[in-house]
């Protein structure tokens, strides 16, 4: 695990409280700043000793792998797309098939880290506002971690297949009479 600081994107303040999602001083968005000095000596072959996937890069993450919640995300195939390369005038073009992640989207890459961090902090419930892929992904990782999951959806703006996924994984799905931002506000209030 890399040492890290959480800093405000807007005012630059250090944020020590791990339970806030925005800057307590100015309400700005937060970013994670990693201290990568200890991993500077690592070589690609050191990483290749680990199974392919997101957790191969654990030394670069702000979470202790002892709390890892993983369903083998990442390591998706790369397709050599010769005609696409010709069309856009480059010698090689590869396309990564992120639909082969466990819940069918790239969201699983971030979610494995986020839910692992939640587990590290002792969270019993996780939640999100989403119209699709995020809710399916969070619900799956919550199920894997034996946490409860609440999904807030703006009513009428939801991908039905994704909603079914969240339900199958056991999430509590709440339809919000409002837009995405209002659903997100509710999630933040619930978290508080």
Q: Smallest gap, in angstroms, from Cβ of residue 51 to Zn ion?
A: 38
Q: Smallest gap, in angstroms, from Cβ of residue 19 to Zn ion?
A: 16
Is residue 11 at the binding interface for Zn ion, with CB under 5 A as the rule? Answer: yes
Q: Smallest gap, in angstroms, from Cβ of residue 70 to Zn ion?
A: 32
According to the 3-state scheme, what is the secondary structure of 67-93?
A: HCCCCCCCCCCEEECHHHHHHHCCCCC
Residue in 3, 18, 25, 87 binding Zn ion, rule: CB under 5 A: 25
Q: How far apart are CA 79 and CA 82, in angstroms?
A: 9
Question: 71-74: which pairs have CB atoms within 8 A and are 24 or more residues apart?
Answer: 71/102, 71/108, 71/112, 71/140, 71/141, 71/144, 72/102, 73/101, 73/102, 73/108, 73/109, 73/111, 73/112, 74/101, 74/108, 74/109, 74/112
Question: 83-89: which pairs have CB atoms within 8 A and are 24 or more residues apart?
Answer: none
Q: Given the rule CB under 5 A, which of 5-13, 76-84, 107-115, 120-128 is the region that contacts Zn ion?
A: 5-13
Q: Given the rule CB under 5 A, which of 17-25, 62-70, 100-108, 160-168 is the region that contacts Zn ion?
A: 17-25
| Residue window 26-45: x/- pattern of binding to Zn ion, with contact defined by CB under 5 A | x-x-----------------
Is residue 188 at the binding interface for Zn ion, with CB under 5 A as the rule? Answer: no
Q: Smallest gap, in angstroms, from Cβ of residue 43 to Zn ion?
A: 37
Please say which residue, 37 or 192, places its beta carbon nearer to Zn ion. Answer: 192
- Count CB-CB contacts under 10 A for residue 140: 29
**Residues at the site binding Zn ion, with contacts judged by CB under 5 A:** 8, 10-11, 13, 23, 25-26, 28
């Amino acid at each position: 695990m890399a040492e890290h600081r959480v800093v405000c994107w807007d005012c630059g303040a250090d944020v020590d409280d791990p339970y806030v999602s925005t800057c307590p001083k100015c309400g700005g968005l937060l970013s994670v700043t990693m201290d990568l000095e200890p991993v500077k000596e690592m070589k690609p072959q050191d990483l290749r000793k680990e199974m392919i996937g997101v957790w191969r890069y654990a030394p670069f993450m702000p979470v202790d792998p002892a709390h890892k919640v993983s369903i083998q995300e990442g390591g998706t195939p790369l397709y050599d797309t010769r005609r696409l390369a010709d069309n856009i005038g480059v010698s090689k073009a590869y396309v990564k098939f992120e639909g082969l992640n466990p819940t069918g989207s790239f969201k699983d890459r971030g979610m494995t880290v986020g839910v692992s961090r939640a587990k590290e902090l002792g969270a019993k419930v996780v939640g999100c506002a989403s119209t699709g892929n995020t809710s399916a992904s969070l619900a799956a990782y919550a199920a894997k971690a034996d946490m409860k999951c609440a999904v807030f959806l703006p009513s009428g703006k939801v991908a039905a297949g994704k909603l079914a996924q969240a339900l199958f994984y056991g999430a509590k799905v709440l339809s919000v009479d409002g837009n995405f931002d209002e659903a997100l506000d509710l999630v933040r209030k619930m978290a508080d």
